[in-house]
Chain A
Amino acid sequence: MKVSTGTVRFLKSSEFYLFLVIAGLGAILTVVTEDFFSLENLFDVLVSYSFLGIMAVGLMVVLISGGIDISFTATATVAQYIMASFIIQHGGGWWVAFLIPVTIGIMLGAVNAALVYNLRVHSIIITIATLNVFYGVLIFVTRGKWIYNFPDWFAEGYSLFDFSAADGTDYSFSLSIIVLLAVFAVTGFLLNRTSIGRQIYAMGGNMDAAKRMGFNLLKLHFFVYCYMGFLAGIAGLVQAQLVQTVAPNSIVGRELEVVAAVVLGGASLAGGAGTLLGTILGVTLIAIMQNGLTLLGVSSYWHKIVIGMIILISVSITAYNRKLEERRHAEIDV
């Protein structure tokens, strides 16, 4: 039987291993717990992890381009805070609730892009600094007050269609899910089917080569960081709608959790590598693991230990395999 090279490549990819782990974990949880494999539970997981997924996709694009963004949690918080204050004071509809955070996200992303490009310092340093600036200024100005009392239309949410399952539970194809799927679709198209997407991969793979090819690196930097900011703004909206509160400290501090999910999905911190499918699987693994531990009645104290173990085991296996591979291909060059 002839196996196509594409299939072989897939069977060797980190996405495939990740898929196996998720499938195995899912199977175990289905057998061990009653509630895991139910529409209700899976829907809940999807809804409650959607904003992390959205931020993860944005971060993946930055990682592919050879940079990193740590400030996106602050961007999301600033965006949702201003959006919430505005719609509570002045009203407005979904368009306003969408346009405000997105605009703010793009603006803050542009600040990052301009600094990273012009100061020629690695993006991790720049974005650590901007994280502190964005977040510090926000809390200074607002004094860290929480926001509740959203207008009714915002509290009710937005849904494309509702349906009832056989047992009578109502589900709705709600804002979080619509936005998450749209973000996946747009990003997938962008990275794989557009010139700018391929240029992003090229820049992350080899910045000098990309420059000599005549790519406009300034434009690419702006695109990548603004896209991250755009998605952070959307994630801020989705999270605010989900919990109906804006607490300035609810997203900031989770940046490394998102980095872990994206890296689990196979994106390289060195740039040039990473796939949408991998990132989706990385977020899924973390989401299912936490959900499974909760269903098993394991105290939430243990979640971090398990996630730490998963990160360590997965990055160690990947690194060790690469080492063996390098040794196998090593040539003695005399």
Chain B
Amino acid sequence: MLKLTSDIQRIRSLLGLKDEANVYLIVILAALIGLFTLVLPDQFFRAANLQSMAFQVPELGILSIAMMVTLLSGGINLAIIATANMAGILMAYILTQFIPEGATGAGPILMMTIAILAGLAMSTLIGFLNGWIIAYLGVSPILATLGTMTLIQGANVVLTKGYVISGFPDPIRFIGNGLVLGIPMPLYVFAFSAFLVSILLRRTPFGVAVYMLGSNEKATLFSGVSIRNIILKIYSLSGLLCGVAALIMISRFNSAKAGYASSYLLVTILAAVLGGVDPFGGFGKIIGLVLSLLILQVISSGLNLLGMSAHLTIALWGGILIFILFLNQLRQRLGHVKV
């Protein structure tokens, strides 16, 4: 009997059900899916729709994780979109300039690997730079990344002169558009990134330090953790994730440009907070973020199938966030009454 309860508890915690906020998210998600299935009986639950949803989640998803890790530490990274575009432009430049048309064999494959690594290195470097300004100069994260965001956005436009760089080799396009066992490639990349970051946050000393830093900076310092070191790592990780998002973005569109995904910046914060991340640090799990991304995507796809404008989706996203914040507030107040 005792074993059964502990098993149930383990399952509950595995599904993130121990957290009441996640239960709300699951209920809302189920309600939305139910609603759209009723309204669109033949369209919503079809393989084509599910597949197209699976293609769309990863890009915003990985960018949201990049935002989330900085939020957990009590910071913020406003430069994520600019960083991703910079990495995407660098990858696109190498892919289009150094791979001859129609070439086959090991040469192009090597060059593609170099392009991807260069992009990831570039985004990690930008993240490191953000971390350095925050940790060593003592600039607040919001201002530091506001500055680098503006700077890098400008650099992206100057480098591309506002044009689109397009036309990539097939293997690169496969990363964005291919299917393996019926599941889109980007979803694998997203699942892998989410899993890795989740392990990093929950199972390593680094992860513990990130949460500690987010809840009490002084206490973290006095417990012997090098705050500077942790901040450098957090922002480098955030940058690296932007590079991964960039790879998916450019391979899906088969092009790179200075302004891609620019409307996603505030949406990533919205997604993270909706998923239970405390915008002032210390609290939040990947599972919550994944649930919140699913909610956002179900709304977006459902309304799209109904022929509604994408802007109504954005309005509803904002509305859902306010609704969840309202529920949390209500729960807290009722909780106080009981005590």
Contact = CB atoms under 8 A, between A and B. Distances in A.
B329 A126 contact: no
B316 A128 contact: no
Contact of B151 (A126, A140, A259, A312): A312
Query: Which has the most chain A C-beta neighbours within 10 Å: B137, B140, B147?
Result: B147
A133 interface: yes
A135 to B, nearest CB: 7
A214 B200 CA distance: 47
Interface stretch (B38-46, B231-239, B307-315): B307-315
A304 B139 CA distance: 20
Contacts of A37: none
B79 to A, nearest CB: 10
B52 to A, nearest CB: 22
A307 B318 contact: no
B143 A126 contact: no
A46 interface: no
Interface of A is mostly: helix
B31 interface: no
A322 to B, nearest CB: 7
A308 interface: yes
A263 B158 CA distance: 26
Interface stretch (B115-123, B221-229, B244-252, B320-328): B320-328
Interface residues of A, number: 48
B155 interface: yes
A260 interface: yes
B124 interface: no
Contacts of B270: 125, 128-129, 132
Contact of A136 (B148, B150, B161, B315): B315
Nearest to B312: A140
Interface in B267-302: 267, 269-270, 273, 279-280
A140 B315 contact: yes
A122 B133 contact: no
Interface residues of B, number: 47
Interface of B is mostly: helix
B17 interface: no
A309 interface: yes
A241 interface: no
Given A304-B153, A308-B150, A308-B154, A256 B133 contact: no
A315 interface: yes
Contact of B322 (A115, A124, A135, A306): A115
A76 to B, nearest CB: 17
Contacts, number: 145
A143 B309 CA distance: 8
B158 A137 contact: no
A17 B139 CA distance: 18
B162 A301 contact: yes
Contacts of B154: 301-308
B317 interface: yes
B311 A316 contact: no
A305 B273 contact: no
A97 B221 CA distance: 56
A323 interface: yes
Contacts of A125: 269-270, 273, 279, 321, 325
Contacts of B158: 299, 301-302, 305
Contacts of A319: 137-140
B315 A305 contact: no
Given A119-B326, A125-B269, A263-B143, A305 B155 contact: yes
Contact of A311 (B147, B262, B273, B322): B147
A32 interface: no
A124 B265 CA distance: 13
A301 B139 contact: no
B54 interface: no
B319 interface: yes
A312 B315 contact: no
Smallest CB-CB A-B distances: 7 pairs: A136-B315, A308-B151, A304-B154, A132-B318, A305-B154, A308-B150, A312-B147
11 contacts: A119-B325, A121-B325, A125-B270, A126-B325, A128-B269, A128-B318, A132-B314, A136-B312, A143-B309, A315-B144, A316-B144
Given A124-B269, A144-B311, A304-B153, 6 more contacts: A135-B315, A136-B316, A140-B312, A301-B158, A302-B158, A312-B148
